[in-house]
Structure 1
Amino acid sequence: MTLPEGTPEKLSGPEAPAERTWSAQPDQHPVSPTFDELTRQRAKEIIARYPVARSALLPLLHLVQSVEGYVSQDGIRFCAEQLELTTAEVSAVATFYTMYKRTPCGEHLVSVCTNTLCAALGGDAIYRSLSEALGTPDRPLAHEETAGEPGTPGSITLEHAECLAACDLAPVLQVNYEYYDNQTPESAVALVEALRRGEKPPPTRGAPLTDLRTVELELAGFTDDETVAAAAVAGPSAAPESLRGTALAAERGWAAPALPDEPPALPPLPEK
């Protein structure tokens, strides 16, 4: 049987996968015009950063998300086309990482940590309060649902988040991946209400707040405003709570023991 051009060769028996080349199908329709010449140029710049093209897939998916507000099937095809991969290979990555959304997102993505410590200190109550505030009286907003028309000013996508690596400041939430620490249900609802009014309250730590698509473009490695980039780098990154152990050690003269010149011998393996 002759396979169509560009189709992976079928295997028989325990043989390892054969080397394959990629070529576009002659009748393949072009991907969505959403991906304009600027986006294609940026895609080429991303790919040029890596010695192996497929290593560029993660930032390329962020680039797609900066254009669409999520990763659509056209976005999957765009990445596959740029990297000479199959759409199945791209989909496997896009569906593995939670940062890549498969449905349109709001102007802002609000991520509430509901992992163990945050949950015990009020994370579940914060999520419940936001879900009720963003939903309707008879139906709270569910995980990864959007209040408002996706992509429009003031629209918000709400999600549960696993550990946000800020247990010392729990309970925490993020807006477009910027931290808002030591939250309460009341402060979280006030924050979301401000976002819906078009305001951008400053995060506790990190860069000044923008919007999700701008952040996705930055994650892809681009910024349209050097002033914004400089402000992001200059933003606060460490909190007193995070540095308390270091401060105590300095005050009390504590130091970790020096490493020995020779590593200690490993214990013998148990006899079988």
Structure 2
Amino acid sequence: SFNVKKLLEDSMKMIEIQANKKNLQLRLRIDPSLPENGVSDPSRIQQIIVNLLTNSLRFTHKGYIELSATYSQSAKLKVAVRDTGIGIPPEKAPKIFKLFSSIQSDSSGCGLGLHISSLLLKALKGKDIEVKSKLGRGSKFTFAVPIGENQSSPEPSSSETIPNEISKNIEVKNLQIPSVHTYKQPQILVVDDNEFNRIIMRSNLESQGLMSLEAVHGGDAIQILFQHPNIKVVLMDCDMPVMDGWEASKEIHKLHSQGRLNNLPVIIACSAFSEQKD
């Protein structure tokens, strides 16, 4: 079992420094009926919450980010992350949970965190993450996960609505790379200093018969590309120690132009944070 309140508080603390830098207010609301302890995988639940919080942090430049938690009659923890960010355009709403999607056409990075959150939620026997958003006013992401022994009762539907909002359940499909089949040798390189993210990506790829290699920073990735010229796709985190994704991508293109690197892989940039100026 795990302490539910502490998990929520610790999750909020993880974005406190970044929120203070952006002068954002953080709000935590906990239902008094919430049990002290829950039965589930706390690390996965926290990863989902933190991913949603960091997503709100990325697209909120003034106002607040709120984390709230309630407890349902069917022994489920219902978590909501609400922000006063830029909101989601209606045409983008069905795509935001797809791997490498972006809310703004000019924003950097990818929807890796949201995609991972959806995969983790399904592993916890939860349903799709629900998103409600109003362009220019903010967004609200909600999910529910069983944390009690009795989980047979259906989850009562909520009647909460916001005028002119986007409201729909997002069905997340697994990672699919077109025209790539099962290979005996790895053709995908996952570059991320976060071990948890690497595990999720590798498991996702393996579930589709795709082999991959891993690197913890840009310099490590370059060495692996020299050793494995068959790599076709690089999933590159942007913010890493030693050598970040931007520097590594430039170096890879430079080495290829100089003829020192025979094959130039497709590099897909992934980032969890983004300032408004980016």
**Is the TM-score greater than 0.5?**
no
Between structure 1 and structure 2, the one with the greater Rg is: 1
Answer 1 or 2: which has greater strand percent: 2
TM-score, scaled to structure 2 = 0.28
Higher normalized helix content (fraction of residues): 1
TM-score by length of 1: 0.28
